[in-house]
Amino acid sequence: MDKFSGQKSAAQYLYAPIDPFAHQMLDTGDGHKLYVEQCGNPDGIPVVVLHGGPGGGSSPMMRRYFDPEKFHVVLFDQRGCGRSNPKASVKNNTTWHLVNDMELIRKTLDLDSWAVFGGSWGATLALIYAQAHPNLVTQLILRGVFLMTKRELEWFYGGGAGQFWPDAWSKFTENIPTDEHSDLIAAYNRRLFCGDLRTEMQFGRSWATWENALASMTSNGQGGTAHSDYARTFSRLENHYFINNGFLDIDGQIITQMDKISHIPGFIVQGRYDMICPPPKCVGLGKSLAQI
């Protein structure tokens, strides 16, 4: 039960837990091997589920979003995280590598097209993939939309969200000298990629703890202590993408290219209390949701 509302947690409303009917390690040919699994009905409606982060990895719960009798559900761990290898590697790891990986997976599984589902960074990747391959996406299902804009990054790493959770924000910033607070993404980057494993794990935990503190209603601003290895992997990958602005050519690129996917049916679920990915209007992107 949700201790705040007295209602069942969201997981209670998902389909029953299932196991994959197939899984494999897929070689990308440039130093990475991707973990890919298939669940549900192999003859069902194809849908690929994209995890967040970047660097979050997939989980068994993600198999449960779609009716397993009707859908052929494909999940994979993006480069450098989850069960994919090499772990925490940022070499040959950009948004466009991930878009190409999705195409490799689709072709390997012999799928003509598929629906694309993702939340947070998964929604970002879903939109970018759809804009790159608009004729291969049958539907877009997005939750917690994140559009990889500077305003959104400034909201979460520049103090906007920190105004609502000053205690958690203080823990995120306390180990960074004040003269580096103007760019905390860069400050963390220097430490997450310093080459000293102990330092990278320390700041990986700090980065992941800040995000986990705001990741759900039940966390109530308490991030807990993330496992050191997972935290380092997650934090390095997420920071790598964010310091490079998602490897997009211009700020607001997703919004400027919405005409490419205007024909694709889309569904959006946006949490009222989402502090990590607030509705785009809250960070000055008022038209973006209406355009999707």
* CATH number of the domain residue 69 falls in: 3.40.50.1820
**Residue 62: inside a domain:** yes
SS3 call for 97: helix
Q: Are 61 and 10 in contact (CB under 8 A)?
A: no
In tens digits, the chain (292 residues) has pLDDT values of: 444 445 566 778 899 999 999 999 999 999 999 999 999 999 999 999 999 999 999 999 999 999 999 999 999 999 999 999 999 999 999 999 999 999 999 999 999 999 999 999 999 999 999 999 999 999 999 999 999 999 999 999 999 999 999 999 999 999 999 999 999 999 999 999 999 999 999 999 999 999 999 887 665 545 555 567 899 999 999 999 999 999 999 999 999 999 999 999 999 998 888 889 887 654 444 444 555 5
* β-pair partners for 73: 39, 47
User: What pLDDT score does 220 carry?
Assistant: 54
Do 235 and 257 sit in the same domain of this protein? no
For the chain, give the number of residues: 292
Do 53 and 160 sit in the same domain of this protein? no
**Residue 60: inside a domain:** yes
Do 239 and 258 sit in the same domain of this protein? no
Q: Are 260 and 131 in contact (CB under 8 A)?
A: yes
DSSP 119-178: EEHHHHHHHHHHHHSTTSEEEEEEEEE----HHHHHHHHSSTGGGT-HHHHHHHHTTS-G
User: What pLDDT score does 198 carry?
Assistant: 95
Do 185 and 272 sit in the same domain of this protein? no
